[in-house]
Structure formats: structure tokens, C-alpha cells
Structure 1
Amino acid sequence: MKKISFSIEELLKKIPTPFYVYDQNGIMGSVKKLQKAFSWVDFKEFFAVKALPNPYILKLLKDNGCGTDCSSLAELYLSDMVGLENEDILFTSNNTPLEEYQKAYELGAIINFDDIGHIPEFIEKIGIPKIASIRYTPEKAYGSGIIGNPLESKFGMPFEKLIEGYQMFKDAGIKRYGIHAMIISNTLDIDIITKNTETIFKAVRKISKKLSIEFEFIDIGGGFGIPYRPEEKELDIYLLGKNIKELYEYYFVDFKPKIFTENGRYITGPHGYLITKVLHIKESYKTYVGVDANMANLMRPGLYGPKNAYHHITVLGKEGKYKKYDIVGSLCENNDKFAVDRELPKIEKGDILIIHDVGAHGHSMGFNYNGKLRSAEFIYDGIGFKMIRRQETLKDYFSTIEGGDIYV
């Protein structure tokens, strides 16, 4: 059974629910395991900022050898804020405004083009990047899951376009090359990750041979999954590293590219908790447990469905299975549900529920529908709790409203 790894009773006495708590030691444990699994190669993890865009987290990861994977202007500024620069930042953006490319260029970031159509304008209006890559979306992929069918993906380029794009790089005088692919999301299947990695390695070999170029790095993306359900087993990261090492040694003899990953969920996902209080229990066609958190605090179950985007829930101080409940928020939307037909201990008004594995794509996907305010974030560093983001207030919510003057 999943349990929170520290006591939150003292925090509950001082802080109103809902709020997020992250386990610093757990996050660092995931980082170290990933780095150890790929210690056989020149390796770097570029943390996917979108998963948990908090400066405290980014600084913690920076201090332990990680870079950042950014996809927006704000994420670039966050990276700059914590002292990251140059090739510790990887900028991969889709449908990218020129000013965002400009900021990435000023920071000296690795520029990863989602579409080769951006390359001529970038070179003409911004400059020639020191190192550049292209996002590859192969025609066939294994276990694409949430990302979906590659043929319907808005991300990346097919192989034929890669050839054209790297030729553009050569013609422009760019001499350092990388390649990027993000083919899967949240898989625990080592074979799937291995097969997709081999697809990337094959592409690198073909491009290298055809254009007589060597690749400095291969970013195999993220997508390493976490066990959301108690019965699921954790990804064997060491076996995965071993499998990829065997592929690497087979495909790369004459040159040795670095290996990058850009995991978010694997690093922080299992180490975040959303703490919420039971406000009301409604007996209707079903038993609905209404809590003070809602889809604006945690969107994943509402976006993908509570069965597909399962999050384990425990009741503080209680164990066992009493009856089936739907755990719901207060938004005026029927998909505002954290769990459906979930067997839990007997729940009473005032109980504290802990929603597990929300350390990635949890708080960061929050929004203000129905005027709901985003919750605070805390981190437990092994000694005590630190607030790393305060709760929003109504003043924050109304701060962007103007008086209705005509704007020209």
C-alpha cells in the first residue's frame, strides 16, 4: 500500500487545504538512479520544466547535475533565474514565436527545431546557433500511449525532412549536431523504450552516413513511467540502461554521441502529494465525497478520465476498504472527479485525503476556472517543510483586470 513518507499533521495545523507537498529526498533518489543507470556514457538529464516549474526544484536539480528542457519563454526565464545557461538548457518548442527563439539564443541554449521550416527564419533574423538539433517523429513507434499515433502528431519531423534539415544546418555553417525524439509517454515497459531508442539510433546512423556528419548528442526523450497503481512495479531503470548500452555499442563505433534524457514525471512524479479535506458527503445515485481540491488543482483525472489517469488515494489515519466512493471537486463540470468507484475506508466530513503521485503535471497544469485559486506548494527536505510557492489570493485573481477602457 502506498503511504506518505513523512508526517503532515503539524503542517495541517497551520496551513489550509488544499496544498501540495513534495519529498526532496525522493526526488534526489530518482535523479541519482537515473544518472547511475546511464553512467556508462556521457549522459545528462534535462528536467522537463513543464512537469514542475518551481525555481526551488530547478535549483535543486541544477545543483545535482541536471539541465532543463524548456518549451516556452517563461520556462527559459525560470532556467535563467536559477543560474542555468548555455548548453545546460535545451529549448524544444512547437509552433514557436520568434521572440522565444531569441531568448533561447541569448542564453546560449541548445536549439532543437520542431519544424525545419523555422530554420531559415531563425538564421536570417537571429543568427547561427552553435549547436542545433531537430525533433524526429518516426512513422512507426511502439506504445505511443498518451502522445498518440505518430502520423497524427503535431510534433516533430519524419525522416525525409530530417535529411533536408541537417543539410540546411551544414549549408549555414553549423558544425555541431544533435537529434531529439519524444515518442512515448509514461510507460513502464522497458522493451518499448528500448525499441523506440533503437529507432532513433538507426536514424542517426543513416543521416550520419548520408550527409557525412557526426552527432554530438542523441536526446532519447522522456516518457519513463511511474507506477501510479499500487499493483504496478517500478520501472527497472538499471535494466533499461543496460539494454540501451548494448544498442549504443552496436550502432556507434566510429563516433560516440552523448545521451540525453528529458524526464519530468520519472524524477518528481512519485514524490508529490495533494492534500485535501472532505467538505461534504452526498448520497445520490452514488456516494460522492466532496473535497476542497478540484480539477483546477489537479487536471489529469479530468483531462484523461479518472480511470486512465489513475491517482492512488489514501485517507489519513485510516486503512481498509469500507465502500466505493466517487471523490469529486466543486467545479461546475461533471468531469471534476479524482476517482470513480474507488474502494476506501469509511470517510467522514473533515477527513484528510492524500492524492498520490502528483509531483509532475499536477500543480503546473492548474487553472482558474470558476474563480478557483491555485494552491500552495511545500517541500519536505528531511528536516522540515518549506513553502516554495504561496497560495493564490483573490487579489492575485483580480490583479490583471482593467477598467474596460478602449485599447488601441
Structure 2
Amino acid sequence: MKKKPFITLEKAKEIAEQYPTPYYVYDEAGIRRNAENVYKAFAWNKGFREYFAVKATPNPFILQILSEYGCGCDCSSMAELMLSDACGIKGHKIMFSSNDTPVEEYRYADQLGAIINLDDLSDVKILKATLGHVPETICCRYNPGGVFKMSNGIMDNPGDAKYGMSEEQMTEAFRELKAGGAKHFGIHAFLASNTVTNDYYPQLAEELFSLAVRLKKKLDIDIRFINLSGGVGVAYKPDQTPNDIFKIGEGVHQVYDRIFKPEGMDDIAIYTEMGRFMLGPYGALVTRAVHEKKTYKDYIGCDACASNLMRPMMYGAYHHITVLGKEDLPDDHVYDVTGALCENSDKFAIDRKLPKIDLGDYLYIHDTGAHGHSMGYQYNGRLRSAEILLHEDGTFSMIRRAETTNDYFATLDFCDVGKKLLRK
């Protein structure tokens, strides 16, 4: 089975006439359709909100599209808070979840009125000392320990993860926060990444809803929301079945009714923080074949590299590749598809069966809409590419320009060498 690109070879070339490869392109129609479906799937819960994980695709044009559907922002740094604020997303539409948090970020999150999600019991005292008060609405992150085998190995072992608190620590944190003036509480957890199953959220919900009942009875607190966080993944491989958000929503609904209704707690809001599911399939990295090498293997070198898409090098992650214009040709050649970094791991594919690739061919790397451009870096002086938004009517516009050498040398502008390098 082959994955289908959302642009044609003709459209890829049309974009490249204005914005040379490599470039990221995002499918606005797909993003909008998916956001609408997420809200339909959880419409049974009156307080539902998706807090888009800004880290996945930190672009204001994307955030503003999602905000039209009611999405807030899941932020984990000062820069992400600043971006959300600049987009007009403020107050409780921001969930601030971080770890090893600088105190100035707590202050800024509080100034914006964000919901602060504490990662560790010690953060309670730090927050009180930093702000001089405890916010009325507060959240804590739970880690049940053990192993949660539902992901592709990116993070599926809570007991070995640096995030969250044990139930004993959660209990003490909520007790201290209540004594400090907190009135409304939330519970958050992230136990596995990139799950390609409709069972992850319902299974996580079972764990968190049961915890909420225990904490409410023990502490007599007002639990306002359960944040299921992210973890709903993308079918990166063509033989995988994509998640069905409607089945996921209904699965959570069934657990909600079974656990919360008998306890009179069926007014609790459900929050999610999906980045990968919201954007992953609706972005692609488009690159051209610029070099062919034959030694012990056949290599195709691209004008993109791990600076543009780090996931294959970092995780060994699979991203499907389509040679645009050759979709109907047989995959009768085997290539390593590489970039130009001085690292042997700079490969988008290893021993991948593809049609014969000629120099100048356009390669469409699928499912890069989340944790793609955002994880880019500047090693070897290879610079990050432009981001393009393909609009619903087929037109397109640049939503982030490509980096230049001026950007690369900008932090040296204080010295003579740096000034020589900067082009006017």
C-alpha cells in the first residue's frame, strides 16, 4: 500500500519557483478538517479543549488556524508562551507544562493567566516562593511508574521517565496547594508517545479517572479537568492503520460514564494536548535529488538533511517517501536516501525500495507536519528551510522564510569577524 501525497509534482515545482527546495509544506484543508473532527469526537464533554502542543509546530499561522476551532496552546518554555500570547491565545487557553522550570517562566505564565501544570512535588514550594501565591486553578502531572507498552519506543516506560509525580506525591502536592489557596485542580499525564491504537486514551483515562476519584475522596478537592495530554500517534508506515479519533473519543466517553457518573463527577472537563495527531500527516518535507553515488550500496543525496528533519537520525524513525510524478512506477530500486551532513546517520531512509530516481526528481517525505521543522538545527552550517502553507483554494504562501547565513552569524554581530560575515 502506498501513501498519497497532498501535492502533485506540478504543485511542488510551482512552489519551488518561488521558494527553492528543500521546503516544508502544510495542507490547510487537512488541518482544518482534522481539528473539526477532534472537536466532534469529544463533543459529548461540554468542557473539552484541545491544547495544541506548540513544540510540534511552533508557527503562528498554524496556531491561529487551530484557534478558530477552539484550540488552546500547550507550552513548555518562555518562547512558546510568548508565541501563544502574540497570537492572542491567553489565560486558561494556555496550559504551561514544563520541567526543571526557570522561575521567570512561572512568573510569565502566571502573568498570562495560564494554567500551570507542576511536574514535581518540590515545584509547589518553588511556585509559592516565586509568585507569592498559589493560583486558584492548578494542575499536577502524574506518573504511575511501571511500563506502558503502547508506543514505538520513543517514550513508553513511565518508571524510567523524568516526568511527573507518584500518587503519594500528587496527594501531598494537592494538599499543600489547597492549603495555599488553590480552589480548582487538574490532573495531567503522558505515558506513551506516538501510539497507533484507539485504546491508548481510554486506557489512560481509566487510570486518571480512578486517580481523580481517590484524590477527591481523600482531600475533598474540586477536580475541574483531566488532561490526557498527547501520545495519540500517526501511522507513519503505509501498512499501519491510522487512529480513528471518533473511536478514541467514544472509548474515553465510556470510561468517563462508568467511573465518574456513579461518583457525581460527570461535570469534569477533558483536555488533550495533541501535536503529532493534529499536524503530523498534514505536513511534508519536499526535497530534490541532487547527487547519486554507487559504492557498496546505491545512495541518493538530497538537498535536505537532518537539519531539516532530525527524526530519522535521532530515533531511527520511519518516514515514507514518494518520488513525485513516479507514484505509479514499480519500487524496483533500493536506495539509502541521504543528506549532506558530516554524519553517517544523516539518512532519511535505509535500504528503501523506491522507483528509479533521477537527478532533479522531487522527493516528498510524508508525515513531517509535527516535530519536523521544529526540531531543526544548524549543525555543519546547514540552515533550516522555509515553511509554506497550501491554502484550501490551491494557492500557497510562505509562513516562515528559509534561514540565511545572516541568521547563522547573527549572534556574532558584536565582533569584527561576525560583522564581516554578515551580508548587508
Give the one of 157, 166, 171 matched to 2:165: 157
1:52 corresponding residue in structure 2: 57
Match of 1:143 among 150, 166, 183: 150
Q: Which runs of 5+ in 1 are unaligned?
A: none
SS of the residue aligned with 2:411?
coil
Match of 1:331 among 341, 347, 361: 341
CA 1:404–1:128: 2 relative to 1, 3 Å: farther
1:187 and 1:298 mapped to 2: Cα distance?
20
Amino acid in structure 1 at the alignment position of 2:150: G
Q: Is the 8 A contact 1:331 1:370 kept in 2?
A: yes
Q: Deviations over 1:297-326 (max 9, x none)?
A: 000000011xxx110101111132121100
* Aligned length in residues: 402
How far apart, CA to CA, are the structure 2 residues paired with 1:394 and 1:60?
31
Q: Which amino acid aligns with 2:400?
A: R
**Residue of structure 2 equivalent to 1:385:** 396
Could you say which residue in structure 1 is the equivalent of 2:19? 15
Shift of 1:187: 0.7
**1:151 CA displacement:** 1.4
Pairing 1:73–2:75 present: no
Q: Distance in 1 between matches of 2:156 and 2:194?
A: 12
Mapped partners of 2:139, 2:315: distance in 1: 31
Q: Aligned partners of 1:160, 1:130: CA distance in 2, in Å?
A: 22
Q: For the Cα contact (< 8 Å) 2:156–2:193, is it kept in 1?
A: no
1:282 maps onto 2:289 in alignment: no
1:191 and 1:55 map into 2 onto residues whose CA distance is 32
Q: Secondary structure at the match of 2:154?
A: helix
Distance 2:322 2:137 in 1: 47
Give the C-alpha shift of residue 381 in structure 1.
1.1
Cα drift, residue 142 of structure 1: 4.2
Paired-residue identity, %: 47
Q: Name 1:101's counterpart in structure 2.
A: 106
- The more displaced of 124-133 and 157-166 is 124-133
Any idea what the Cα deviations from partners look like across 1:13-68, whole Å, max 9, x if unmatched? 22211000000110111111111111100210000000000011011111210000
**TM-score w.r.t. length of structure 1:** 0.96
Partners of 2:138 and 2:186 in 1: how far apart? 6
1:166 is aligned to 174
Match of 2:202 among 177, 194, 198: 194
Where does structure 2 lack aligned partners over 5 or more consecutive residues?
Answer: 418-424
Worse-superposed segment, 380-389 or 119-128: 119-128
Alpha-carbon distance, 1:403 to partner: 2.1
1:217 correspondence with 2:218 = no
Aligned residue type for 2:161: S
CA distance, structure 2, for counterparts of residue 3 and residue 244 of structure 1 = 30
2:139 is aligned with 1:133:
yes
Judge which range, 19-28 or 189-198, deviates more: 189-198
8 Å contact 1:142–1:196 — kept in the other structure? no
Pairing partner for 1:403 from 400, 415, 421: 415
The answer to whether 1:351 aligns with 2:352 is no
What are the superposed Cα offsets for residues 333-354 of structure 1, whole Å, 9 maximum, x if unpaired?
A: 0110000011111101111111
Shift of 1:375: 0.3
Mapped to 1, the partners of 2:223 and 2:143 lie a distance apart of: 17
Aligned with 1:271 (options 278, 282, 285)? 282
Whether the aligned pair in 2 keeps the contact of 1:142 and 1:195 (CA below 8 Å) is no
Match of 2:43 among 39, 43, 46: 39
- Residue deviations 1:212-250 (CA, integer Å, cap 9, x gap): 112100001111111111121111211111111111011
- What's the CA shift for 1:404? 8.3
The answer on whether the counterparts of 1:18 and 1:277 sit within 8 Å (CA) in structure 2 is yes
- How far, CA to CA, are the matches of 2:275 and 2:363 in structure 1? 25
The alpha-carbon deviation at position 129 of structure 1 amounts to 1.1
**What is the alpha-carbon distance in structure 2 between the residues aligned to residue 202 and residue 380 of structure 1?**
43
Q: TM (normalized to structure 2)?
A: 0.93
2:30 counterpart of 1:26? yes
Alpha-carbon contact 2:19-2:386 (below 8 Å) kept? no
Task: Please tell me the residue identity of whatever aligns with 2:140.
Answer: I
1:368, 1:65 → 2: CA distance?
A: 35
Aligned position for 1:261? 272
CA contact (8 A) 2:35 2:278 kept: yes
Q: Would you say the 8 A contact 1:142–1:192 is kept in 2?
A: no
Aligned equivalents of 2:416, 2:170: Cα separation in 1:
49
Deviations 1:94-152, CA, capped at 9 Å, x for gaps: 10000011110000000100112111121122132121010001123342531132111
Alignment partners' CA distance in 1, 2:239 and 2:287: 24
Distance 2:345 2:114 in 1: 39
Distance 1:345 1:121 in 2: 57
1:2 is matched with: 3
Q: Does 1:368 align with 2:361?
A: no
Secondary structure of 2:143's partner? coil
1:4 positional shift: 2.0
Which amino acid letter does the alignment assign opposite residue 368 of structure 2? V
How far apart in 1 are the matches of 2:156 and 2:250? Answer: 27
